Amino acid sequence: WEGEPGDLALMLMTSGTTGLPKIAMLSYQNIIDMARKWLETAPIGIGDNWISITPPAWIVDQMWGMGVALCGGMVMNFPEMPETIAEDMREIGPTIMITSSRFWEDLASKIRVKINDAGFIKRGLFYLCQKIGEGVVDRESRKKPIPGWLKFLNWVASWLIYRPLLDRVGCLQLRVAITGGHPISPDVIRFFRANGLNLKQAYGLTEAGGVFQVQPDGEVKPETVGKPLPRIEVRVAEDQEVLVKSPSVFMGYYEDPEETAATLSDGWLHTGDAGYFDEDGHLVIIGRKKDIMRTKEGEAFSPDFIETRLKFSPYIKEAVIFGEGMPYITAMINIDMGTVGDWAEARRVPYTTYTDLSQQPAVEELIKGEIREVNKRLPEHMKVRKFLLLYKLLDADDQELTRTGKVRRGFVYEQYRRLIEAMYTGEEKVDVKGQVRYRDGTVGTIETTVKILDVD
């Protein structure tokens, strides 16, 4: 028996962000075609180190592990365990890396917290160098020439701050780092690029054979997902849905011809995402087409757009935005246990558990301040007016998140409907009795009171 390029190679579950996961079928041709496109685009060489820190069930891990790594002769590395990723990265020294936006959001939060806890001189020096780096990033994104004096200052800042920082987090050897899987705040892209890391945003999905858009070198714009890889056609339909056509597009869904026919039309893959092209031909993703919401007054907004900006705060782990058909926008917030816990201990705010910490008045004021800062940069109709701090972390084991960290918005709404509705009925607090899954797998019951908080 001799295999053919069109034979079935992989069966992968889609993320199930907007419904039940489906099984996507990918051929050898899909995988190899996408790998060749990446080898033409990315600075990949034989023997380059690549580290896999994403779930193997994610298309990106398979695309790079089975496709790009094998076709390009890269060395594929795995961390010993999730807790040792930082140490393993320093030891391995990866030269190229592609992972989810959550990784970069968490890393940015940890760095910012460490800097804020540093002494006055170190903190001041970091923020001074950060300003220099931001000046370079801003000119690069607008295709403006960088003055010689700014290049020199950036070189000095690189040796003083950027290189030691990147070495500390295992990113010093990275020629390029790519983020995908979920929209990321432009602030996160700016933060790392200002600190000397060539972080780019990419875009793709399982049905497309992986990541098919990336920001080209010299054209990195933090708000976009760049341009298509070679020999990939991307267009935006009249209803703003992003469509893609290429030999790497999947074979179809397993035993689901109706869904396959709805997703593939005349060779074009319907991504389900809404977007548009900017003046430079870069694709800007607004959010899931199904998730675009309208307030009671009919003003459209993307929850993803607001959520990614909220999550740039080192104190916010997750944010879920609501407001469909409502007079104003609200947010359900997961605090970051590590950074908020350190913040509370430094200010002698006593707490026992995550639930207790999330309902502390001092923490409420902290998060309120973070939301106010984000509101300053949002249009009036997109400002968050009320919020609550959830008593537990959203968890993939509870079906609230996908395995790649995306919020399952519909499920979360049904799960916490009582709390969400309270933000629109004038209630000040809600008594809650719910289940909590602990790290050892056991399930417990929790009773608490969740406060409904005004931002202004």
Whole-angstrom distance, CA of residue 268 vs CA of residue 265: 5
SS3 381: helix
Within a domain: 161: yes
Tell me the C-alpha distance between 205 and 208, whole Å: 5
- 404 with 323, same domain: the answer is yes
Residue 3 lies in a domain: no
Can you tell me the distance from the alpha carbon of 109 to that of 424, in angstroms, rounded to the nearest whole number? 31
**β-bridge pairing 96-100 and 176-180:** parallel
SS3 411: helix
pLDDT of residue 117: 84
* 240, 307: one domain: no
Q: What is the pLDDT at residue 329? A: 97
Same domain, 347 and 253: no
Query: How many Å is the maximal CA-CA distance in the chain?
Result: 70
Looking at the DSSP assignment, which residues form a beta bridge with residue 435? 445
pTM beyond cutoff 0.75: yes
| CA separation for the pair 118, 101 (Å, rounded) | 26
pLDDT winner (highest mean) among 137-151, 213-227, 277-291, 357-371: 357-371
CATH number at residue 65: 3.40.50.12780
Query: Out of 157-171, 312-326, 373-387, 432-446, which region has the weakest mean confidence (pLDDT)?
Result: 432-446
pLDDT bracket for residue 75 (50, 70, 90) = very high
Assess whether pLDDT exceeds 90 at residue 427: yes
Does 351 lie in the same domain as 265?
no
Residue 439 has pLDDT above 80, yes or no: no
- 282 shares a domain with 322: no
**C-alpha separations of 309 from 111, 287, 421 in Å:** 17, 13, 23
CB atoms within 10 A of CB 396: 14
Task: Select from 225, 258, 286 the last residue of a domain.
Answer: 286
Q: What is the C-alpha separation between 18 and 132, in angstroms, rounded? A: 41
Question: Do residues 133 and 225 share a domain?
Answer: yes
Would residue 1 count as lying in a domain? no
Q: Which of 255, 270, 286 is the endpoint of a domain? A: 286
**Residue whose tokens read 């290429």:** 246
Same domain? For 296 and 270 the reply is: no
- Cα–Cα distances in angstroms (integers) from residue 17 to residues 181, 201, 202, 306, in the given order: 11, 20, 18, 18
pLDDT tens per residue, range 91-102:
999 999 999 888
What was the pLDDT predicted at 438? 67
Are 50 and 117 part of one and the same domain?
Answer: yes
Q: What is the total count of domains within the chain?
A: 2
CB-CB neighbours of 350 under 10 Å: 9
Comparing C-alpha atoms, which of 107, 114, 128, 144 is closest to residue 221?
A: 144
CA distances from 170 to 20, 166, 233, 267 (A): 37, 6, 36, 42
Which domain, by its residues, includes 16? Answer: 8-286
Percent of the chain with pLDDT over 90: 64
List the CATH number of the domain containing 325: 3.30.300.30
Model confidence pLDDT, tens digit, residues 49-70: 999 988 888 898 999 888 999 9
Place of tokens 């209803």: 239
Look at residue 42 and tell me whether its pLDDT is greater than 70: yes
**109 and 154 co-located in one domain:** yes
Is the domain of 350 the same as that of 395? yes
The residues with which 201 forms a beta bridge, in sequence order, are: 179
At which of 226, 257, 286 does a domain end?
286
